[in-house]
Amino acid sequence: ARMLRISNYSKECLNELESETNIDYEQRKKGLLQVLRTDKQIAETRKDIAVLDKFKVKYNILDIDGCIAKEPGLRHVKDKIAGGLYFDGDQTGNCFLFTNELQKKCIEMGVKFEFGVNIEKLNLKNKEISGIETDRGELTSDKYLVTLGSYSPQLLNPIGINIPVYPVKGYSVTLPVVNEEDAPQSTLLDETYKVAITRLGDKVRVAGTAQLTGHNLDLRQKSRNTIRHSFGDLFPQAADMNSDDEFWTGLRPMTPDGPPIIGKTPYSNLYLNTGHGTLGWTMSAGSGKLIADIVSDNEPKIELEGLGMNRYPFAN
């Protein structure tokens, strides 16, 4: 319920931001299809459907032809799918493109960005943060926000804040589309391989796997092969599978109970916005608006219960 609360609010905030800025980020509002390959998977989704009904999430149960109607590229693999769940309200977009365009808008408004700066520690004085020590000297402000994903604990632990945010490694492969009519139109979740397939302009990004390797960013060929196989198995004619791809890895900042950590800390001028797991892009706009309201002493537009660090007794 907490994650759904933020996600729904975030979609509203993103739509408002999109309307205000006219940012083009290869957005598509064509829903999401969860592909079920076997009758067993269809049976197992009954538990998921019960949860969806409980929280009033809109969905459609599709048979094979229904899946193909949403994603025509699946017509070549009818024998490999059994049905699916379709979520009409979901959207897709290129988050890297979005953030770069948003940066330009912010610069126009006077925001200054400092890239390539290494943060070393938070400085304390009288139970407040007095500055940020970097390899280029100290940066000072009246209020501070830690939003470092899976690296947040490294900065917070030395000052006595022990939030449970852990890095869970995932991979993505990005391939150019060569046959438009055979390519995915939006986002699909492959229930068998636990892989997400997303259309981004003239490319397709396929992402998945979950590994507990600390902050290790080495690329594993085995994971690449699994991701590529999932895509090629469902969309065999969409891309040139022999072409070079963009193989990338990143660390999802996971919390034990799922929702991110947003809000105040024991230090009066320090705030957190971290731990969004696999849903950083999904929750980004709403989380940003929430923490902006909190820092500005404005009334947040949604309930904050269960989102703060105080839900973990050991955190401070």
Exposure string for 50-76, b = 16+ CB within 10 A, e = fewer: eebeeeeeebeebebeebbebbebbee
pLDDT at 244 (0 to 100): 80
Domain ranges of the chain: 32-88+167-254, 97-165+256-315
pLDDT at 130 (0 to 100): 98
Ramachandran class of 160: left when φ > 0, alpha when ψ lies in -120 to 50, beta otherwise: left
In angstroms, how far is the first alpha carbon of the chain from the final one? Answer: 25
pLDDT at 253 (0 to 100): 99
Identify the residue whose tokens are 């988050």. 95
What topology does CATH give the domain 97-165+256-315? FAD/NAD(P)-binding domain (3.50.50)
Closest among 161, 250, 177 to 207, alpha carbons compared: 250
pLDDT at 267 (0 to 100): 98
Q: Mean pLDDT of residues grouped by 10 in the chain (316 residues)?
A: 95 96 95 97 94 95 98 97 97 96 97 96 96 98 98 98 98 95 97 96 95 96 94 94 89 98 98 98 98 98 96 89
What size, in residues, is the chain? Answer: 316
The CATH class given to the 32-88+167-254 domain equals alpha beta
Q: What sign has the CA pseudo-torsion 285, 291, 297, 302?
A: positive
pLDDT at 166 (0 to 100): 98
Strand partners, 187: 32, 198
Rounded-to-integer distance, Cα 129 and Cα 267, Å: 7
Whether residue 41 contacts residue 192, with contact meaning beta carbons closer than 8 Å, is answered with yes
Rounded-to-integer distance, Cα 85 and Cα 230, Å: 18
Radius of gyration of the chain (CA): 21
pLDDT at 240 (0 to 100): 84
Phi, psi of 297, rounded to the nearest 5 degrees: 60, 35
